[in-house]
C-alpha cells in the first residue's frame, strides 16, 4: 500500500471511530483531520466533502466488516445453519462492552443520514441487500444439503436473519445491556433450528 492509500485508509478509520461514537452530524472535518494527525487540506485532497468519507465508510469499511463477521466464517461449517447460530453467538459474546450502547454502525449511519442524503440511503440499502443475498446463498446450500425444510423460502429467511442480527444490536443499544444478547441468541437459535428437518 502506497502512502496515499495509507493516508486515505487512516482518514476513513479515524472518521469511522469518531462517527461511531458521536454520530455523523456530531463530527466535523477538523476533528477527523486532527484524529488522523493530518491537515484539513490533506483531508480534502482525499475526500471532497465529509459526506464522501461517509460513503467510503459504508463501501470500504463496513462492507468488509460485515463480510468478515457474518459471511466468511460460515465457510468453516459443514452445516450453514449451525454456522449462523455459532457466528451470532460469537459476534455478540465478543462485542466490546463500550460498543453495546452504540449499536450497529451501519444501522446508525443509515438511520441518521438516509432522510438527509439519498446517497447514504442507496449505499446502506445496497450493503444490506448484499448481506441478505450472501446469507441466502448459505441458506440455499443448507436446503440443497437437506438441512432446511424443502418448503423454506430462503429469501424470506435471509431477510429475517439479517433483520434479527441488526435488531439485536439495536436492542442492546437502547437497553444498554448485553444481557439482551443472550436472550435474543436463544430466540435466534431456536427459530433457525425450527426451520430444519
Q: Looking at the predicted structure, is the pLDDT value of residue 167 above 80?
A: yes
How many domains in the chain?
2
Q: Are 73 and 148 contained in the same domain?
A: yes
Mean pLDDT of 17-28: 97
Amino acid 2: pLDDT = 85
Q: Are 67 and 1 contained in the same domain?
A: no
Q: Distance between CA 97 and CA 77 in Å, rounded?
A: 28
Mean pLDDT of 155-178: 97
Mean pLDDT of 83-94: 98
Q: Looking at the predicted structure, is the pLDDT value of residue 58 above 80?
A: yes
Mean pLDDT of 107-129: 96
Mean pLDDT of 32-58: 97
Q: Are 82 and 166 contained in the same domain?
A: yes
Q: Distance between CA 169 and CA 28 in Å, rounded?
A: 26
**For 64-85, what is the HEC assignment?**
HHHHHHHHHHHHHCCCHHHHHH
Give me the domain span that covers residue 179: 57-195
Q: Looking at the predicted structure, is the pLDDT value of residue 116 above 70?
A: yes
Residue 13: which CATH number?
1.10.10.60
Q: Are 116 and 189 contained in the same domain?
A: yes
Q: Looking at the predicted structure, is the pLDDT value of residue 126 above 90?
A: yes
Q: Looking at the predicted structure, is the pLDDT value of residue 1 above 80?
A: no
Q: Are 35 and 75 contained in the same domain?
A: no
Mean pLDDT of 76-83: 97
Q: Are 24 and 103 contained in the same domain?
A: no
Q: Are 37 and 67 contained in the same domain?
A: no
Amino acid at each position: 500500500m502506497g502512502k496515499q492509500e495509507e493516508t486515505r485508509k487512516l482518514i476513513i478509520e479515524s472518521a469511522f471511530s469518531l462517527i461511531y461514537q458521536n454520530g455523523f452530524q456530531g463530527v466535523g472535518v477538523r476533528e477527523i483531520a486532527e484524529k488522523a494527525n493530518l491537515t484539513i487540506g490533506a483531508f480534502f485532497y482525499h475526500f471532497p466533502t465529509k459526506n464522501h468519507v461517509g460513503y467510503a465508510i459504508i463501501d470500504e469499511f463496513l462492507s468488509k466488516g460485515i463480510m468478515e463477521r457474518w459471511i466468511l466464517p460460515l465457510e468453516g461449517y459443514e452445516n450453514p445453519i449451525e454456522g449462523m447460530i455459532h457466528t451470532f453467538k460469537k459476534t455478540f459474546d465478543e462485542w466490546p462492552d463500550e460498543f453495546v450502547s452504540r449499536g450497529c454502525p451501519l444501522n446508525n449511519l443509515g438511520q441518521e443520514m438516509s432522510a438527509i442524503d439519498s446517497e447514504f440511503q442507496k449505499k446502506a440499502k445496497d450493503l444490506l441487500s448484499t448481506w441478505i443475498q450472501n446469507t441466502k446463498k448459505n441458506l440455499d446450500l443448507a436446503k440443497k444439503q437437506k438441512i432446511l425444510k424443502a418448503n423454506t423460502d430462503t429469501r424470506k429467511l435471509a431477510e429475517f436473519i439479517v433483520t434479527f442480527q441488526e435488531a439485536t444490536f439495536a436492542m442492546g443499544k437502547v437497553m444498554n445491556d448485553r444481557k439482551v444478547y443472550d436472550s435474543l441468541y436463544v430466540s435466534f437459535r431456536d427459530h433457525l433450528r425450527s426451520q430444519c428437518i
